[in-house]
A = this chain, B = another copy of it.
Amino acid sequence: MDNQKIHMNGGDGPNSYANNSEYQKQLVGYSKIVMAELIEQELDVGIINPDCSPFCVADFGCSVGGNTYLAVQNIIEAVETKYKSNEQDQENPQLQVPEFLVFFNDLVQNDFNTLFNYIHGNKPNYFTTGIPGSFYGRVFPKAFLHFAHSSMSLLYLSRIPEEVLDRKSAAWNKGRIHYSSSGAAKEVEAAYSNQFRKDIQAFLDARAQELVPGGLMAIITLTILDGVLPSDSPMAINFTILGSCLQDMANMGIMSEEKLDSFNLPYYYTSPMELETLIKTHGCFDIVRFEKLPTPLRQVVIDVQAAVLSVRVVTEQLFQQHFGKDITEELFQRYAEKLDSHPVLKDDKYRTDASYFAFLKRKTETSKPGS
């Protein structure tokens, strides 16, 4: 099962991702200062050839909201600062602040119309394009990009591992919708982890080809801390509750057992150690920085509806595609009721997740994969 249709709720209504992604916005804010420092320190202003290239930036997994705009703005300000300070350098008088061409990337099903309206409304000082396609494959020509950014996107697998849906496999995840759900077999987690390894490899392969030597890449992703069992994560609680609501609905005949058994969520929460190891093993990127970001303030602690909405905007499309449009209103109502009586929102023992920031530099001397 290909997950080529993962996208956030579009538009700008009350259930839209655009209006319900405060958590992601805070992460972009936390990364701003460290990213500016690292751009000042690591960017080689000579990586663009001003005769035939603007400075090209891409955000992979941009979705539709203001967060991609903010992240890009932070990058461009830092790069401009670097070029401006370089202009003072008498030894390189020819290097001026370049023109910027920014590519917003997401799957073809993403709501680019909403994105474009938002970006244009902010009158950016760069040229704006949307570039549809899965970032687990090539999206750009070779040696074209100077800076790549991806925030909270690498936790979406390119597909659900086949064995998770296979009745004959030890990894069959009957009656549950995620590997972290209470009671899931170890083999389910292994299948997800294996898929993640392949996906990260594919992501890094593609970016290694698309970035110029010396090109930079910033990644933010959500992890479960080293040594924590997936089932002890806050996501596990959410997905276990959502799964039990679906099970209740199956028991009432609203959907079939088969329908439920054939559904799993395509999210994988890596650990910091797993992610760092995969990047190092890949070999095409130097890790300049790899660090934990502060935890965003959870306004949701006191507001179950906000907590429900933050899960709904990212998962609703997946439920609708599989179970039909009619079930989600009831599903999230049931979810809200069960969540309200669970301690996950209030008890700090469930704070076992953390967002990590990785700042990478494309090596100049390794062979390019696939080229």
Contacts and interface: CB of A to CB of B under 8 A. Distances in A.
B116 A132 contact: yes
Interface majority SS on A: helix, strand, loop or mixed?
loop
Copies of this protein in the assembly total 2
B112 A127 contact: no
Nearest to A101: B141
A333 interface: no
A283 interface: no
Contacts of A168: none
A203 interface: no
A276 interface: no
Contacts of A113: 111-113
Nearest to A121: B108
A129 B131 contact: yes
Interface string A143-165: 11000000000000000000000
Interface residues of A, number: 33
A60 B54 CA distance: 20
A130 B127 contact: no
A139 B111 contact: no
Contact of A130 (B49, B129, B140, B143): B129
A117 interface: yes
A128 interface: yes
A77 B120 CA distance: 33
B141 A120 contact: no
A111 B129 CA distance: 14
Contact of A144 (B54, B109, B111, B133): B54
A2 interface: no
A53 B54 contact: no
Interface of A: 48-49, 51-54, 99-101, 103, 108-109, 111-113, 116-117, 120, 127-133, 138-144, 212
17 contacts: A49-B49, A49-B52, A52-B143, A52-B212, A53-B144, A54-B144, A99-B142, A100-B141, A108-B117, A111-B113, A116-B130, A120-B132, A128-B131, A128-B133, A130-B130, A130-B131, A130-B132
